[in-house]
């Protein structure tokens, strides 16, 4: 077994070799601009994009013409939320979301608040689950859209998308979901789930970085999005800019592979994840799984190790790549807003680690990780206990009466 072991697959994934092989010709031989309709180089590039659009749409239960390619999930989220809100601001101004959303949603909503929109953030329970009844109560005639992520990027909890989508459809409100962590890992069917706007990315599902998609439900009434970018009117005028043909083609292959292997891959990864959780739970006292015990992503384990600072554990285990939360928030010293929202104390949030398993994770790597985590947490806990005992003895000595 080689080290370091990579268990940060919710931050990004290794690109599947089959994806790389599909991309190389589009950087070397088929290098035309997909918008160049006057010659074969452009036609071949456009054909590659069309094939990818079919593959990506099939993965999420959309029509090919409903898929808009973007530079990533963050752009897709911004386009969905800002585009829909600004497109309907003359009639309505309320947006409903949850307190555990990814920063891409949270910060976009904060920006819209500064523009005068009203943002309602519904609470979650101790597992990070949104109650559709809370959303129902928050919807008013002035509500433009509801945005609830399909699966949480830190704790892996899966949202009741079908119930939320049906509720929004019934009330005539747009339903957006950030499905970045879910697509390719669990089944997503945007039409069956009544999702109007679906954001996701290639690099979370063994595709390249720098390419994502926004699926926009077609039909009546039409969804009006104000574009973020002005330019050549690419992607039906919704997302201007020369298409990243190699990235889009890679995205398509990654989607096709995910659709084929998802059932078996989910079973394998959930088994490895359960082994990891059981392995540390049996050896260490007070260990707790953050998030829903069963309604969670198959490859996610967010674990609280009481008394063991997460940063100290990671620094002591440089041979294992894990994280203390969202990669997009790693520069912040603030406690995780997701863990705080499910009721953890600030200290507990700083003692929680996220393990993200993936397609290339092996049984040997999980066995190795269990041993290293148990050993490291015990050492750190012993040091903390020794320091605590020393401080207690010093306080007793200082409090003792002089003779």
Task: Report the catalytic residues.
Answer: 328
CA 268/CA 26 separation, integer angstroms: 33
CA 10/CA 356 separation, integer angstroms: 5
What values do phi and psi take at 368, rounded to 5? -65, -45
For residues 93-111, b (16+ Cβ closer than 10 Å) or e, as one string?
A: bbbbbbbbbbbbbbebbee
Compute the radius of gyration of the chain from its Cα atoms. Answer: 23
- Strand-pair category, 320-321 with 5-6: parallel
CB–CB of 226/216 below 8 Å? no
Cβ-Cβ contacts under 8 Å for 61 (sequence gap 6 or more): 188, 189, 190, 191, 192, 193
CA 13 from chain center: how many Å? 12
DSSP 224-242: P---S--SS-TGGGTS-S-
Q: Give 145's strand partners.
A: 95, 174
């Amino acid at each position: 077994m080689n080290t370091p072991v990579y268990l940060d697959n919710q931050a990004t994934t290794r690109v599947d070799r089959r994806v790389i092989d599909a991309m190389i010709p589009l950087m070397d031989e088929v290098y035309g601009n997909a918008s160049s309709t006057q010659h074969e180089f452009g036609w071949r590039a456009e054909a590659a994009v069309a094939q990818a659009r079919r593959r990506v749409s099939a993965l999420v239960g959309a029509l090919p013409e409903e898929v808009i390619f973007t530079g990533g999930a963050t752009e897709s989220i911004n386009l969905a939320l800002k585009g829909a809100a600004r497109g309907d601001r003359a009639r309505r101004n309320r947006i409903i979301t949850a307190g555990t959303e990814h920063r891409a949603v949270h910060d976009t909503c904060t920006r819209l608040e500064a523009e005068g929109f009203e943002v309602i953030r519904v609470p979650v329970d101790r597992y990070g689950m949104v109650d559709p009844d809370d959303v129902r109560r928050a919807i008013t005639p002035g509500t433009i859209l509801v945005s609830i992520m399909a699966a949480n990027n830190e704790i892996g909890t899966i949202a009741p998308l079908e119930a939320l989508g049906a509720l929004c459809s019934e009330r005539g409100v747009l339903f957006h979901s950030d499905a970045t962590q879910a697509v390719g890992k669990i089944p997503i069917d945007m039409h069956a789930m009544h999702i109007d706007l679906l954001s996701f990315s290639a690099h979370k599902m063994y595709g390249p970085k720098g390419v994502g998609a926004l699926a926009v439900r077609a039909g009546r009434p039409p969804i009006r999005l104000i574009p973020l970018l002005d330019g050549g009117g690419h992607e039906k005028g919704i997302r201007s800019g020369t298409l990243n043909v190699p990235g889009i083609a890679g995205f398509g292959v990654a989607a096709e592979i995910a659709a084929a292997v998802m059932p078996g891959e989910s079973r394998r990864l959930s088994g490895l994840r359960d082994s990891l959780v059981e392995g540390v739970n049996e050896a260490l006292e007070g260990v707790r799984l953050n998030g829903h015990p069963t309604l969670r992503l198959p490859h996610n384990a967010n674990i609280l190790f009481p008394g063991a600072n997460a940063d100290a554990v990671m620094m002591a285990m440089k041979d294992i790549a894990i994280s203390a939360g969202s990669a997009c928030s790693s520069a912040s010293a603030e406690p995780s807003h997701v863990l705080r929202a499910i009721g953890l104390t600030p200290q507990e949030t700083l003692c929680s680690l996220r393990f993200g398993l993936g397609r290339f994770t092996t049984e040997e790597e999980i066995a190795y990780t269990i041993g290293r985590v148990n050993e490291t947490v015990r050492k750190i806990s012993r040091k903390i206990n020794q320091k605590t005992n020393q401080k207690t003895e010093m306080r007793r000595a200082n409090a003792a009466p002089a003779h």
